[in-house]
Structure 1
Amino acid sequence: MRLMPLLFGLSMLFAGSGVAAADRIAGQPFATRSVVYAPKAMAATSHPLATQIALDVIREGGSAMDAAIAANAALGLMEPTGNGIGGDLFAIVWDPKTSRLHGYDGSGRSPQSLTLEWFQQQGHRDIPRAGPLPVSVPGAVDAWFALHERFGKRSMAQNLAPAIGYAREGHPVAQTIAYYWDRSVALHSRWPGFVEQFTLDGRAPREGELWKNPNLAATLEAIANGGRDAFYRGDIARRIDVYMKDNGGFLSYADLAAHHGDWVQPVSVNYRGYDVWELPPSGQGIAALQMLNLLEPYDLTSFGFGSVEHLHLLAETKKLAFADRARWYADPAFHPAPVEKLISTQYAAQRGTLISMDRALREVAPGTPQQLDEGDTIYLTTADANGMMVSLIQSNYRGMGSGMTPHGLGFILQNRGEMFVLKPGHPNAYAPGKRPFHTIIPGFVTKDGKPWLSFGVMGGAMQPQGHVQILVNLIDFGMNLQEAGDAPRLHHDGSAEPTGQNSAMTDGGVIELESGFSYEAVRGLMQKGHTVRFANGPYGGYQAIARDPDTGVYAGASESRKDGQAAGF
């Protein structure tokens, strides 16, 4: 099967003749723009300046990994509402030299001095979403250096130079980022260091307004000159330690000094001839694989995009996968999940018997894979002329993270620890030195052993749902790379969450639909017993790069829900 018609063929824009101007029609059920093509390199990020930085790095002799690190550093400055060096990072990398995928888990662990018993003694039922208590070790900087050591070509000082320059000289704030920044100010202004370093006289910078962060410039320069240890064992770590102690926190110098990320082996399922790759837990990537296995028996193409059958199956498979997500996904060093069984076709066949095409599931408990026989976030992707492709996702967790902003450093610490459960015996229960359940997941697809697609979708629990919808749009509905991201999405919101006290869903949840789906589909879902509501979000944000296996030509896409850009040369 040739892949050109699927990803690289543009759909017919105009019917008939006599069109006065060759403009793209926008007044359709969903508006989209053209796929971007380039012969040598491609970058797709959630900010146009970061995309241009990535391409400049490749033009100057850097690899796709150098470009990804440079873009990520810039996004920490330009999009602090979603990421920064106070957060964690995950990546999947296609290495053309070995023709294989590599995965990196750059997530940090909880403070050693904080215990589950302390939370219980203080009367906490859940970990707060902001302030000192949800802060875990930031893993992004370590991940940069580990990935660079294996796949980089330029020095880290060269890779960080563009972000340092923009931090000192300023950049105009983009529209979507300005909106979320403004919402974050009221939430985080109470935390020491935030107002001084992330507002202009107490307010968020406005759209198009120049923003500078000299403190972050100095921090990045220290990292560029001193390496990863400048962050985890040097003055930066000591200043974080003092700040946290002064403000009721537990994260310490010792926690930072002990940090290490891990190389992990991506895992996959085959969906209609395409091998879809995700990272194993503590992230939620295998939820996408479980959903794809459950969808495999159904002829989605004949149902059609936006049909009641299509949307019903997305919701039902999500319910089943997320019940397992709430029960099984956790730090494998503490509670190894039965990954091979969870993503097996045998388990999917067992769980798939619960799906009815006539009625929505109301109560969903996790499965028992052991009983089988043995057998807000940023996403970016880059690709270079040698065929290296990088799928990278990085986050503070909720928007601007915990709000904890160490004095003089120019970044905010993440609040990823909020994802722990304060329930003894739960796989994701809080423990010292443990990684929390993670939502951020990079995606990758190969076909016949060759790289086909590097992609991701931002947005918490939307991410595995988004991965599945993108792939179904491409593979089942024949959309091109840009259409697949711009098409309206479904988000199922259920009660089976890894942060809750119960891993079973008991109320059926709610289907949230983006504008663009028909009333007939909505009515059909309601007749099947679904609760449906229209919502402006959350539907994530998507970037992707595809590679033509015959010509090596890259296609890039960046959806309109973000401020991003796909570009190449």
Structure 2
Amino acid sequence: MEGIEMETPAGIKTEAWAPVRMGAQGAVVTNHPLSSMAGIRILAGGGNAVDAAVAIGFALGVAEPQGSGIAADGFMMIHMKEDRSISIANGTGTAPLAATPERFAGGIETSGILSVSVPGICDALLAAHARHGRLPLADCIQPAIELCLEGVPQTYFQYKLAESQHLLHSFPASAAIFAPDGVPLQPGQIRRNPDLAKTYKLIAEHGRDAFYKGPLADAIVAFSEQTGGILTKEDFANYRMGWQEPISTTYRGRSVYEAPPNSSGHVLLQELNLIEHFDMARLGLNSADAIHVMVEAKKLAFADREAFLGDPDFVNVPIEGLLAKDYAAERVRLIDIQRAAEKVMHGDPWEYQAGDPDGARPGAGLRETQSDTTHYCVIDRWGNAVDGLQSLSGHFGSQIVCPSTGMLLNNRMNYWHLDEGHANRLQPGKRVRHTMNPVMVFDGAVEEGGALNLCCGTPGADVQVQVNMQLISSIYDHGLTVAEAIHAPRWTHIQTGMTSQFPHTSVDGMIGESRLGDAVFGDLTGRGHPLKKVGGWAGGASAGAIQVSAFGSYLAASDPRRDGLALVL
């Protein structure tokens, strides 16, 4: 009707698949409805955000086994409002002590026992609970135990991912769960895991020692020895999660926090430092100009990651230089607004680094993955928040379940490099370079009383920092709701030689969802982007986000590209 502005379906400024969900007492977003329900159950029962995160972390191993499990890795970003604090629980595992470049000279396997690194997320979940939890640990794990025993229906998404996973359906302990009648589970068929329920009960009763020093470590090591693996009791006994301080930058006057190395969180912060030099609002939402700028910024940040990122206990990572605004001002001059860069080299962030104690400047130069992860975020009635990621690495990890435990083991070894001098070169006891990056945005520095505005994240290996950049730009440059930002048409870019999965080979490639429109595709292709059009919702990743409104209410949204669900109180 003339003179009346009609709202778009489920959106305010642009289309959204579903409306943003609003609550006043708490919010949970995960990549599976039943893990979201586990988290909201804990919040409703008086637990805080950390209690809910523990419930979610254990429930995801049952509900979403293609991406998560307690024999996996992960990061938890924890904000405690009253303390004005943010801390990172780094639950990324280490390479076994017997893992050397020489041992894997023939290549790193992507499945089976030799692809398994020491699991870390169980320790991080338990350490976070010990430091910040309100409810008993057993109460937090109970929802996951019930899911193990009562069962979880196989989703269509899980069915499609499982089709090509041969070991998942042929290795006896795995097949007992994922192909119990000799046939892979069909969509809607109930998946039960009573052995995992026993494992969870052991952890609920005996804590981390059950996993790292007791019967669970014994079971994994014995299984490894029987099947030609290299994991030892010493690997488990030596393992400790790490508490870290976050890294941060500012974007449009807001403080953006990320996990430090060995996370790739600095890549997102570098991307934001670069695109901040452009008037993204004027360029337009999902315009060819805006997408081009973001892709070129992504290329520059990834080149630096390839050169410099590794375990900071083993290599010097020039994080101060990488995040310096002056460094971004130098690097942004390499972005040609009319033409895609064909080859991008790393910069010299050491010039912007206050100190270089050893004089060592690692940066070996530059040399489509199948990776899966899961993301969740939660905020409680007190304003505390957790933004977490957990990952088995590839789809269903190693595809092998440790007998009698119900645990799918990770295949994180496939993220190592073997090149001499590479910052991420395999070494015994070293933590691998990770793509997982939890994100929180505040309206000012948290230690100065800045208020939480946004938690967001996504699974998706090397596309994580790309999608997070798109979300933040959509929200803060274009004023979208979290639902509109998550449901917007998406693009992702793969860079030559920079994918995370061994052997790290790839060719430049870019995909865009068809909803971007033919004009945008034509423009970007004309600038030199190797762009491929995919289905309207086939852009990859599966974002989740919670935003705190100016009125203190919680606005939550999940991604229709997978099985996620946003719930509120």
TM-score, with length taken from structure 2: 0.91
| In 2, Cα distance between equivalents of 1:424 and 1:499 | 17
Does the residue aligned with 1:71 lie in a helix, a strand or coil?
helix
Deviation at 1:29, TM superposition (A): 8.7
Amino acid at match of 2:459: M
- Check 1:528–1:54 CA distance in 2 against 1; reply closer, same or farther (3 A cut): same
| In 2, Cα distance between equivalents of 1:567 and 1:463 | 23
Which residue pairs with 2:38 in the alignment? 53
| Partner deviation per Cα, 1:448-485 (whole Å, 9 max, x = no partner) | 31111111111000100011000001011111110000
Identity of aligned residues (%): 33
Does the residue aligned with 2:87 lie in a helix, a strand or coil?
strand
Matches within 5 A, 1:140-539: 140-184=121-165, 186=166, 188-191=168-171, 193-372=173-352, 374=354, 376-448=372-444, 449-497=450-498, 499=500, 509-536=508-535, 537-539=538-540
Deviation at 1:44, TM superposition (A): 0.9
Q: Is the 2:277–2:332 contact (alpha carbons within 8 Å) kept by the matching residues of 1?
A: no
Which residue pairs with 2:567 in the alignment? 567
Which residue pairs with 2:363 in the alignment? none
- Check 1:414–1:16 CA distance in 2 against 1; reply closer, same or farther (3 A cut): farther
Which residue pairs with 1:557 in the alignment? 557
Q: Is the 2:512–2:539 contact (alpha carbons within 8 Å) kept by the matching residues of 1?
A: no
| In 1, Cα distance between equivalents of 2:326 and 2:198 | 54
Aligned-CA RMSD value: 2.3
Amino acid at match of 1:303: L
Deviation at 1:134, TM superposition (A): 2.1
Structure 1 gaps of 5+ residues are: 1-13
Q: Is the 1:91–1:105 contact (alpha carbons within 8 Å) kept by the matching residues of 2?
A: yes
Shifted more, 375-384 versus 439-448: the winner is 375-384
Structure 2 gaps of 5+ residues are: 356-371, 445-449
Q: Is the 2:77–2:438 contact (alpha carbons within 8 Å) kept by the matching residues of 1?
A: yes
Q: Is the 1:182–1:203 contact (alpha carbons within 8 Å) kept by the matching residues of 2?
A: no
| Partner deviation per Cα, 1:132-168 (whole Å, 9 max, x = no partner) | 2221111111011110011101111111111101111
| In 2, Cα distance between equivalents of 1:559 and 1:406 | 32
Q: Is the 2:262–2:312 contact (alpha carbons within 8 Å) kept by the matching residues of 1?
A: yes
| Partner deviation per Cα, 1:488-541 (whole Å, 9 max, x = no partner) | 111011114265899999x7x222101211211111111111111123545200
| In 2, Cα distance between equivalents of 1:504 and 1:226 | 43
Which residue pairs with 1:6 in the alignment? none
Deviation at 1:203, TM superposition (A): 3.0
Does the residue aligned with 1:395 lie in a helix, a strand or coil?
strand
| Partner deviation per Cα, 1:245-296 (whole Å, 9 max, x = no partner) | 1111111221111110101111111010111111111111110011111101
1:106 is the counterpart of 2:91:
yes
Deviation at 1:54, TM superposition (A): 1.0
Amino acid at match of 2:560: S
Amino acid at match of 1:391: D
Deviation at 1:196, TM superposition (A): 2.4
Amino acid at match of 1:99: R
| In 2, Cα distance between equivalents of 1:374 and 1:161 | 49
Q: Is the 1:131–1:191 contact (alpha carbons within 8 Å) kept by the matching residues of 2?
A: no
Q: Is the 1:294–1:352 contact (alpha carbons within 8 Å) kept by the matching residues of 2?
A: yes
| In 2, Cα distance between equivalents of 1:513 and 1:315 | 12
Q: Is the 1:428–1:498 contact (alpha carbons within 8 Å) kept by the matching residues of 2?
A: no
Deviation at 1:189, TM superposition (A): 3.7
Which residue pairs with 1:71 in the alignment? 56
- Check 1:533–1:220 CA distance in 2 against 1; reply closer, same or farther (3 A cut): same
Amino acid at match of 1:173: Q
| In 1, Cα distance between equivalents of 2:521 and 2:481 | 25
Deviation at 1:568, TM superposition (A): 1.2
Deviation at 1:31, TM superposition (A): 4.2
**Number of residues paired by the alignment?**
545
| In 1, Cα distance between equivalents of 2:504 and 2:249 | 24
Q: Is the 1:366–1:504 contact (alpha carbons within 8 Å) kept by the matching residues of 2?
A: no
TM-score, with length taken from structure 1: 0.91
Q: Is the 1:50–1:74 contact (alpha carbons within 8 Å) kept by the matching residues of 2?
A: yes
Shifted more, 528-537 versus 416-425: the winner is 528-537
Amino acid at match of 1:223: I
- Check 1:269–1:150 CA distance in 2 against 1; reply closer, same or farther (3 A cut): same
| Partner deviation per Cα, 1:280-324 (whole Å, 9 max, x = no partner) | 111111100111111011011111112111111111111101011
